[in-house]
Amino acid sequence: MMERCHAVIYLMLPAALWASSARLLAQNMELPEQISAALAAAGRQLNPIDVSYTHTTSTLLSPEDLVKKLKAPFPSLFSRVEPVRMVWQDAKFYQRSVASSSMGDLATESSFDGAVLYGGGVVNKTNGRNVLALWRRSMSKLANDSPDETFVSSEYFDAAGLLLPARARDLVARKPAQSSVLSLLEGTGQVTAIEDAIIDGHRLTRVQISADNVERRAAERRDLATLERNFDNPLAGSTPQDRQELLEYIDRVKKGRTLPEKRLYEFYLDPQMNYAVCMSEERYDDGTLLKRVRNEQFEQLPGRQVWLARKSTIDRYTYELVPGTFFTTPICSEVIAVQQFSVEPVPDAQFVLNYTAPGTTVYDDMAGITYMVPAGGADLDRAAGDVAALLAGQGGPSSQVSRVVLPSTLPSDSKASNTEPPLAGSVVPSRADHGISWRMVILLNMVAFLVLGAALVWRCIRGSRNNA
């Protein structure tokens, strides 16, 4: 319906009408009820939604420049193609992505079933070996311990101007999805302008909001004095690299505190599509452009007053690791291309991850244990089909085998263990049976966790920025 946005032309309203509008804004500074009601309805009507898309990230910077100019720890993340599936239903979510790395394809999943947060993944090793890991955590405990920690990162819905609840306290409270505009206004945001604009011949409504600069506020929350004491009095065992990384972090915090206090958010809404976001920008008062999002090829969800784009383009002009550094051309561009929308409910089982393939390491935070499914060379080969299914997007592994606690975690009196006992007929390997197979599986798990950590850190950085 709408082609790519190239230019913006503000309408020259009749003088009397413009003066009347300006006086209204100066007196009220509130979002018109018609727009507010439409945006609120879009958030409510998003449930349920199942979207599959491809997220492509590219940059014109060389790997050397990414490290030198942006201090990017993982330059490969700026050049990748990532298939993603996101399901949101009744305050539950399921998210899955596959990214390529030097070690092979990395599939990661996360979900929330209303009580338990799950996270897991598999590395498809180039040598034919596959490694799986699964985490289980209580969301209510997370909400008590770290209520503002974020666990959902969806670039597609962020670009659409529809925020899925991401913080632990919001997920526990079962909050619905919400318009980015309304979310800003619920916080520190204030409407500073509302006017008509034309984009490629289409009449849109431009809404400008001034809100606290999330990057500066994040830097101000850091305990700088403690960080500097830790640098002056390093912990035993600290390496020169540890001290250098801490010094760079302290420098980022200091620079973050010098950023402007406010940030301008501009949304271009289409009244013909219930005020769907066609374009959005983030700037500083002096005009410095930070981010631009363009949405196109809209479709209306069946039976709902919600329009979603088939394609979103995100251009970024700054980077978190170099606060205060801005570029006139995008340092990276992201293109999100949707393959499929679905508004049909999914089974509750979709929100529960249960890896049972041999060799899987399970970290159960609620039970306070770590255990591994029996794993030998033959078992890992039999699990290849399950791993292939996960990588292909056909759900998690499903082979039904017993779960066995690693001998190093078994209590002296096995009757006191609160772990699930092996199923009848299964064999618990003794210490002598582990040999090379067990050591190889543990080693591969350690390598896999590094790769998983890199991907999750990147997603958390973006999730924290977009949901702060």
Q: Burial, 262: exposed, middle or buried (Cβ in 10 Å; 0-12, 13-18, 19+)?
A: middle
Separation between Cα atoms, residue 273 and residue 298, nearest integer Å:
9
- In angstroms, rounded to a whole number, what is the distance separating the alpha carbons of residues 70 and 323? 9
pLDDT tens for the chain, 468 residues: list them: 444 344 444 443 333 333 334 334 434 478 999 999 999 999 999 999 999 999 999 998 888 888 888 887 778 778 889 999 999 999 999 999 988 755 567 789 999 999 999 999 875 554 555 678 899 999 999 999 999 999 998 899 999 999 999 999 999 999 999 999 999 999 999 999 999 999 888 999 999 999 999 999 999 999 999 999 888 888 767 888 888 889 999 999 999 999 999 999 999 999 999 999 999 999 999 999 999 999 999 999 999 999 999 999 999 999 988 899 999 999 999 999 999 999 999 999 999 998 888 778 889 999 888 888 775 544 444 444 555 555 556 554 333 322 333 322 222 232 222 222 222 222 222 222 333 333 333 334 444 444 444 444 445 444 444 444
- Cα–chain center distance at 166: 9
The pair phi, psi for residue 295, each rounded to 5°, is -115, 145
The overall pTM is greater than 0.95: no
- The Cα-based distances of 202 to 18, 247, 268 in angstroms read 20, 50, 11
What the block records as the tokens of 226 is 């403690």
Cβ-based neighbour number of residue 342 at 10 Å: 14
Three-state secondary structure call for residue 303: coil
Please tell me the distance from the alpha carbon of residue 178 to that of residue 302, in angstroms, as a whole number: 19
